Amino acid sequence: MEETYQNNIQDDRIDKIEKHTAVMNKEFGELLVTNAKEHAEIKTDLTWLKKTYWIIATASVGGMIGTFFNVFK
């Protein structure tokens, strides 16, 4: 009984997947190396919080000054 190899299609698919995997690893590796510093830092934009803080602080101080004027009036 002679056995013939019939998995050529599967071998082709595995070869394609291995090539794509190698390309992906190369590209992601370069991405991580070039942007390592940016990935290590936590970047958050808190300008909206600063603006909100100053609005609340200004309103609170203004309210406190208004209260003092009403008390001593």
Q: Strand, helix or coil at 64?
A: helix
Residues 36 and 52 in one domain: no
CA distance 43 to 32: 17
- The CA radius of gyration of the chain, in Å to the nearest whole number, is 33
pLDDT tens per residue, range 61-70: 999 999 988 8
Say if residue 3 is in the same domain as residue 36: yes
Residue span of the structural domain in which 59 resides: 43-73
Residue 1's pLDDT band (cuts 50, 70, 90) = very low
Residue 47 and residue 35 in one domain: no
Q: What is the pLDDT of residues 4-46, one digit of tens each?
A: 666 788 888 888 888 888 888 777 776 555 555 655 666 677 7
Question: Are 35 and 2 found together in one domain?
Answer: yes
Instruction: Say if residue 52 is in the same domain as residue 36.
Output: no
DSSP structure class, residue 41? S
Torsion of CA 44, 50, 56, 58, to 10 degrees: 180
Clarify whether residues 31 and 55 are in a common domain.
no
Q: How many helices (H) and strands (E) does the chain have?
A: 3, 0
Q: Do residues 34 and 48 share a domain?
A: no
